[in-house]
Structure 1
Amino acid sequence: MLLRYLLESKAGKEELVTKLKSLETSVSTGRKWFRLGNVLHAIQATEQSIQASDLVPRLCLTLANLSRVVYYICDTVLWAKSVGLTSGINREKWQMRAARHYYYFLLLSLVRDLYEILLQMGQVARDRAKREKSSQEPPKYSVASEESQWLQSLLLLLFQSLRQHPPLLLDTVKNFCDILIPLNQLGIYRSNLGVVGLGGLVSSLAGLVTVVYPQLKLKAR
């Protein structure tokens, strides 16, 4: 999708753009085939999230995984329609259902990420306050205005929190990039194909990192 967007405006690339569009459709159908068993995985993930000790992640993850179950069911119906196993299926209607539940899943996942980020920022702030108290050094600011000091301090706190917790950073980036797709499909926030394609690429790379290094996958508390 990203390559197609970059080449669409270039002269003499019409045939290549057509091939990329056809490839995109084929890959989409293939991805649905590989996702057929994910309904069971989503159900299993729901059972695991119910056992989380922290109330907010437990609630967010359970509702998110239930939405993901419905999304994969809709995805399976769309796959059956695309290969001709069923007839009388309203493709547009089921696509909107799938997009809606995918959006719910990602939105709830981002709420969980935000909660985890706030917890990490609170921990970093407490650790910093302890160090400053023990060293008896006043807080240092590089700008004069209070508003700038507050913003600078907040951004620094966010940076330090995510740097110290790579799984949280990867999960947040992945969910944020992924949510561009249902936002565009549902008409909540329209993005061009280049933005959606770039988001998909970044999300895929982040997901690949967690596959290669399982310790970087964010786990429920």
Structure 2
Amino acid sequence: MNILLAEDDTRLGELIVHILKKKGGYLVEWLTEGDDVYHFATQVQYDVLILDWMLPGEEGVSIAKRLRGAGYSGAIIMLTAKDAVEDRIIGLDAGADDYLVKPFEVDELLARIRALGRRNFAPIQEQIVTMQGIKIDLLNRTVFRDDEEVQLTPREFQLLELLIRNEGQVLSRELIMERIWGHDADVSLKAIDAQIKLLRKKMNGSSKNDLIQSIRGVGYKLDRH
């Protein structure tokens, strides 16, 4: 999962980045100036934007409004010391999907991110995806290579769809486990590696070009080019 954090408190920002990377296995970009956030959020595809309300420069509420007005579909979590009901309403009406009042436990932030991550904020507009001679029908859940159907198990198709919906982004093994097997599943990371290996073999066929790339020590990503 790719996360953009906008937080001007240096100590809190360092803590959040450390925990998100260590415990969540997420990719994190950290900004401290509100004026930079809109540009970053519209130029790079982030799964979650963690947005402090009181940023130097443009404030979080204004940024959220602008992003939603421009059609931004990523998840937004608003961080703020404002705990009045009226303030919560303002933040949510501005476009935030969730609202976390300072001070908070970082584990709670992780739980909020996991919950938002299970929602599909950026659905693929096309139902037919083609890559390197392979046609994937997301609606009918079928895969064809050179007009010959590739037989995938339901779980293999789930894995493939997850990779497609996050094309070009590195997905950690922990994220894959949570999305496909569930957070409390008794599944080892080696089992996930084995499942990816089987899927890769079926997708590649006789081709030597790997659609599913291994990112050493992190996880996997799909690149159709």
Q: Whose strand proportion is higher, 1 or 2?
A: 2
Task: Decide: shared fold, TM above 0.5.
Answer: no
Name which one, 1 or 2, has greater alpha-carbon Rg. Answer: 1
TM-score by length of 2: 0.30
Q: Whose helix proportion is higher, 1 or 2?
A: 1
